[in-house]
Amino acid sequence: MIHGKTAQMQQRRTRRVVAVIAAVVLAVLLWFAWDMTSAQTEAQSAASVRTAVLDAAMQCAAVEGAYPARLSYLEEHYGLIVNHQDYAVTYEAFASNVPPSVVVVPR
């Protein structure tokens, strides 16, 4: 009789340990999935900012006949809004007839 109770207790402990391990593994997998999704979203957001800057520069070139020399010109005259707290934007204009080089990096 005592042996039967001991075996049942051992099975319960084993089930609990397996459940705890499964919960920990699931939590770790969810954390990694969240981290990967966040990184992808951040990269897509930076790409969207870069596209918006280039689109505004092309619009400026189409309207005025030249690419602007500064990013601030696009912000002032073409309604471009860049969140400078979240993104570092490098805007380099080589010449007025050459599209600018734009690099956007999340901070």
Q: Where are the domains of the chain?
A: 2-106
Distance (Å, whole) CA 93 – CA 66: 11
User: Alpha carbon 80 to chain centroid distance?
Assistant: 20
pLDDT of residue 3: 62
pTM as predicted: 0.69
Share of the chain above pLDDT 70, in %: 95
Q: What is the pLDDT of residues 45-54, one digit of tens each?
A: 999 999 999 9
Q: Quick: pLDDT tens for 11-62.
A: 888 899 999 999 999 999 999 888 888 878 888 999 999 999 999 999 999 9
**How far apart, in whole angstroms, are the C-alpha atoms of residue 13 and residue 19?**
10
